[in-house]
Chains A and B, each alone.
Chain A
Amino acid sequence: MTQTIARGPIGFMEAIKQLGTNGGGFLNANSATTFENPTGLTNFLSMYLLLAIPVALTHTFGKMVGSIRHGVALLSVMALLFGVWVGFTSFAEHQNNPAVAAAGVHSTVGNTEGKEVRFGDTSSALFGVASTMTSTGSADAAYDSFTPVGGMGLMTGMMLGEVTPGGTGSGLYTLLIYAIIAVFIGGLMIGRTPEYLGKKIQAREVKLAGLAALVMPVVVLVVTAIAVSVAAGRAGPLNAGPHGFSEILYGLTSQGNNNGSAFGGLTGNTPFYNIVGAIDMLLGRFAIMVPVLALGGALAAKNVVPESLGTFRTDNGMFVGLTIGVILIIGGLTFFPAISLGPIVEQLSHGRFF
């Protein structure tokens, strides 16, 4: 019996793969393979690299606007959501996979299917969340084999718009879109024309921010609807039922958010998925950038309103809370029905949610 070991110039790509939140590996199994990610230490290092730039950019932002507190506020938004998602997904992966358990196999160390024993369930969940919540998309485990709710953690991490902390640069600017919407609603509640960093948020800014926030949910939902409606799309998923739906939804959410990770069950290398996926990626990435650039220009041209006690504070806990609220409302409310037909119903079919 012979075994073919795939080899190649693997190691040198690793740093840029993670640091650039790119995520495409040399080998199909990506960071689950020993050449790409041999030990717990490299696993940790990978996570550090993929989080480094998008996280650090909040500090850059703080420096550029002349208030580190503003950067810290954005970082807090990212960190809080990231923390909750890590906790949720880790907890889910620490349970038995309900499908495996139904077959009579009970694990005492969580959901081990599709995971490298050298990383274990918690570390794999952490890596998965870090990779999906940045637009990296690398993987050290088979995301398709996560428990339904664990997989939901990964999927919803992307559905929030890749802002926690998101891709290099794109995470920050997408988060600012949500922040501007939060400022608009919150600012009204204190009785002033809302302003962010002294720039008034008026019709033009709301229009551009709204447009940018619309792009991703609309594109992902529409292409997913197309994929589940045509034969070429239906042929993709490995599994039937809710899990099959999750595979399609995951794949197109990942592409629409420029993430690149996948539920392995989906056969994506078909003409249909290549074309639909390409459109998904193009719109999901560039259709946001255009309004963002226009927004930047609109804001730059505005005069700065001096701060006073009556100004809506955009560097404190309330602002962080409101921004999180907007992210959850836009991401959560738009995807909740789709999620309920995928992972939620799949998990509930096995009895209970946790």
Chain B
Amino acid sequence: MSHVLTPPTTEASPHGVAQARGLFDREILSQAFLDSFKKLDPRVQVRNPVMFVVLVGSIITLLEAIAHPGVFTWSITVWLVLTVMFANFAEAMAEGRGKAQADTLRKMRSETEARRLTAEGREELVPAANLTKGDTVICEAGDVIPSDGEIIEGIASVDESAITGESAPVIRESGGDRSAVTGGTKVLSDRIVVRITAERGHTFIDRMINLVEGANRQKTPNEIALTILLAVLTIVFIPVVVTLQPFAAFSGATVSVVVLVALLVCLIPTTIGALLSAIGIAGMDRLVQRNVLAMSGRAVEAAGDVQVLLLDKTGTITLGNRMAANFLPVEGHSEQEVADVAQLASLADETPEGRSVVVLAKENFGIRERQLDPSHVFVPFTATTRMSGLDMGERQIRKGAAESVKRWVSEQGGMIPADLDAIVERVSRAGSTPLAVADGTTILGVIELKDVVKEGIKVKFEEMRRMGIRTVMITGDNPLTAAAIAQEAGVDDFLAEATPEAKMALIKQEQEGGRLVAMTGDGTNDAPALAQADVGVAMNTGTTAAKEAGNMVDLDSNPTKLIAIVEIGKQLLITRGSLTTFSIANDIAKYFAIIPALFAIKYHQLGALNIMHLHSPQSAVLSAVIFNALVIIALIPLALRGVKFRAANSSAILRRNVLIYGVGGVLVPFIFIKLIDLVLVALHAY
């Protein structure tokens, strides 16, 4: 065995870009505080119709406060401005977390020098920033790779922790699917020649900086739809409030403009309006924390909609290595004998399969691991013999592919047991690999090597099924083997003997049926399918072509993460929906606070609607406005973290969220408006 290239499998790593910042990082907080003033600019506010109305409202009350100064008018004005600023603060918080990550990345990008090869083959030192696509550079141990590229010569171990946070070095070599290198990563050993594949300013790190900063963040389709609904709910309340003035005049009552503005601000969905963009930014951020880079917010939303997951068998569903599961003796021999000889044959075999035989023999039959005598000679596996084993003087022990062992035994004049073929056939049919075991001229039996399904993966698939997501296993195995593993892992379907074309056809077929498809891939031949899939997650260890075709890159190169991506996508939408429901449900309590106060002078009878028994009309209106502002601050952590997501069917999720955010949204403001009123009274404000 040469180097074993194990892709990092940690779910969230503590280093690298994905370094998770605390929710209330001081640096981010102070920056967000400053930004909440800067964002008061009407040109910024106009992008958010709900908050723009609040801003205009605060200008009206400000004019009123200047014309007719009073504690109440000023208080309302201040709280309205605070409402806008709290919304700014929420957005700035979300952006700040991204900016902090971008700064780390920027440091990495600068200060690098590249050893460029000139046309004559000489080396010259140039700043990394001056490299263009097509240049060739040399990197040796200790060098930082100056830009994204493809290795055209050599092999090296590379430390990619700057990007992935995974400290174990990975092997990169020319040719094949592991030839891509990323700028900013460090060569640890050997020497490679790299052809630069990225234009200036368009390297992977540049794209990451843009992404985490949200530089050209565009509203996603669902965000646009929700913004429209919020605009509708804002527009409808404008005539409601404006017509109150003539209605009141007809009734012989007078209502103050300040109170009308307060009523309007309380009725329009400010809570969700204030938090909407923060929710979107935070959703992307949650992905980055999981070491996944989404190339667009659209892809994150699509992840929530995915109905079919295409999962590669190896590495995603199974552990990648086959493990010994059973010893099956042929007639005339016992299981114990097979185990004993199999273990001897594997003692010097350091492959994972070999180790697993030793472990199984020990666990099931109590056969202790024996010491190898120096006279014993290990016979390694070769592609031609397709066997390995041990020569103990005269005694020769072999294990290997059934056909090879049979041939070896026959050549030595041994007999082939009559039932061997049947056992081999049965093992293959079950999706396992049979290894025949021979001691000299006697074939004792068969070792069954099984693909080991990852622990806990079946439960995950079960969750997916409850969420209405179909899982399809993709494998190069024959249909028999594939069916057996699919059954064991609990996937809904499988594609056996998969070729890139078959994969592509499957995606198209599902999409024609109206389903959204997500998949992972790393090879160049995966690129077309990655591009076709609605959510294509490329592994960071993969080729440049794969990374460019997909709309997400997983820096940890852990295909199981596809499931987490789907959950993050769903959580994003759920957070939006829940806070919208909460925001609208809040209106009921606000009516009961403000309507009696509005007409208190003319119609004291409406005091019957003052079921919260708020102290005075002014304290009632102010309490409602203060609640409306503070609830934004209170919900920032929820908006940034996202509403708790549990895998369950749609009805269960809906019931839970309607209960918490709908019913809760009706009740909570009654309690808090009353409390704020009590505080105002205690402070002798009214």
Contacts and interface: CB of A to CB of B under 8 A. Distances in A.
Contacts of B305: 192-193
B232 A213 contact: yes
Contacts of B6: none
B654 interface: yes
Contacts of B470: 308
B577 A187 contact: yes
Contacts of A191: 304, 569-574, 577, 645, 653
Contacts of A207: 225, 228
Contact of A217 (B229, B236, B469, B584): B236
B71 interface: no
Nearest to B578: A189
Nearest to A242: B251
B428 to A, nearest CB: 35
A345 interface: yes
B240 interface: yes
B606 interface: yes
Interface in B223-239: 224-226, 228-229, 231-232, 235-237, 239
A250 to B, nearest CB: 14
Interface string A229-244: 1000010000001100
Interface stretch (A125-133, A219-227, A259-267): A219-227
Contact of B225 (A201, A333, A353): A201
Given A225-B247, A245-B250, A329-B587, A192 B649 contact: no
Given A222-B243, A242-B251, A309-B650, A340 B229 contact: no
Interface string A319-354: 001100100011001111110110011001100110
A166 B252 CA distance: 35
B650 A311 contact: yes
A293 interface: no
A202 B225 contact: yes
Contacts of A214: 232, 235-236
B654 A217 contact: no
Interface in A264-314: 303-306, 308-313
Nearest to B568: A191
A228 interface: yes
Nearest to A350: B605
Contacts of B244: 337-338
A333 B591 contact: yes
A143 interface: no
Contacts of A109: none
Contacts of B469: 308, 310
Contacts, number: 207
A85 interface: no
Contacts of B570: 190-192
Contacts of B649: 309-310
Nearest to A201: B225
A322 B222 CA distance: 20
A220 to B, nearest CB: 9
Contacts of B420: none
B576 A188 contact: yes
Given A313-B651, A318-B655, A349-B605, A228 B468 contact: no
Interface stretch (A5-13, A41-49, A178-186): A178-186
B599 interface: yes
Contact of B513 (A205, A213, A306, A330): A306
A341 B247 contact: yes
Nearest to A316: B651
B574 to A, nearest CB: 4
Nearest to B588: A333
A234 to B, nearest CB: 7
Contact of B514 (A192, A303, A338, A352): A303
A240 to B, nearest CB: 9
A206 interface: yes
A57 interface: no
A218 interface: yes
A303 B307 CA distance: 15
A228 B514 contact: no
Nearest to A187: B577
A186 B653 CA distance: 10
B236 A334 contact: yes
Contacts of B24: none
A345 B250 contact: no
Nearest to B607: A348
7 contacts: A185-B584, A189-B578, A190-B657, A205-B225, A210-B229, A309-B650, A348-B603
* Shortest beta-carbon contacts, A-B, top 8: A310-B468, A188-B577, A191-B570, A308-B468, A210-B232, A309-B468, A189-B577, A348-B605
Given A193-B304, A203-B225, A310-B467, 20 more contacts: A188-B573, A188-B576, A189-B574, A189-B578, A192-B305, A192-B570, A193-B221, A201-B225, A202-B221, A218-B239, A221-B239, A305-B515, A306-B307, A313-B650, A334-B237, A336-B595, A337-B241, A337-B247, A338-B244, A345-B605
Interface of A: 181, 184-193, 198, 201-203, 205-207, 210-211, 213-214, 217-218, 221-222, 224-226, 228-229, 234, 241-242, 245, 303-306, 308-313, 316, 318, 321-322, 325, 329-330, 333-338, 340-341, 344-345, 348-349, 352-353
Interface of B: 221-222, 224-226, 228-229, 231-232, 235-237, 239-244, 246-251, 253, 263, 267, 301, 304-305, 307, 465-470, 513-515, 569-574, 576-578, 580-581, 584, 587-588, 591, 595, 598-599, 603, 605-606, 608-609, 645, 649-651, 653-655, 657-658, 661-662
